[in-house]
Amino acid sequence: MSLLWIFAFLAAERLFELAFSRRNFRRLELLGGKEFHAETFRTIVALHTLFLLSLLWESYPWRIPLNALTWSTLTVLVLLQATRYWCMASLGENWNTRIILVPGGKVKRRGPYRVMRHPNYLVVVLEFIFIPLLMRAPVTMIAFSLANLVILRKRIRLEEEALREMTDYSQRFPPVG
């Protein structure tokens, strides 16, 4: 089975997310939204771009066998995508690839956010494992999973600080740490 359709899907999905995020950013700005730690966005974009390039390089000639590993990883990835879109739908116009918050805003506690604080980040962590596993790219899986964990750890800490400062979040949850 050729993997090129997976690359096309991943690229299209990332572009859709950026467009959705940009639209939400503009709406939140009109409501007085403020961006925090813009540098984390650039770092995450660079990480995801390098991740896709590494997958392209390591998985060449872009063919995988149709076996149990392929079907099980595809199943997990479909479930992860469903969870990602559930996260996006649950946050609505508040979903963003940047940290942008409206002062005094209400934190959404719908969908997967009723159960955990950052389910979208869990999806990303699992994608950095299962996409390279599907594509038989073990070096990419290890290197980028570790880099992603380091970056997301910092991003979550910064996002938590901004949420406590700008919203009703601190009244609902104790600080992480």
What is the predicted pLDDT for the residue at 62? 83
Report pLDDT for 107.
84
Sign (positive/negative) of CA torsion 56, 60, 61, 67?
A: negative
Contact between 54 and 144 (Cβ < 8 Å): yes
d(CA 148, CA 144): 6
Mean pLDDT of 20-26: 96
- Per-residue pLDDT for 134 more than 60? yes
Residue that wins the pLDDT comparison between 171 and 92: 92
Q: Would you kindly state where each structural domain of the chain is located, as residue ranges?
A: 4-172
Instruction: Determine the Cα–Cα distance for residues 21 and 92; give it in Å rounded to an integer.
Output: 10
By three-state DSSP, how is residue 117 classified? coil
- Computed over its alpha carbons, how large is the radius of gyration of the chain? 17
**Mean pLDDT for the stretch of residues 97-103:** 92
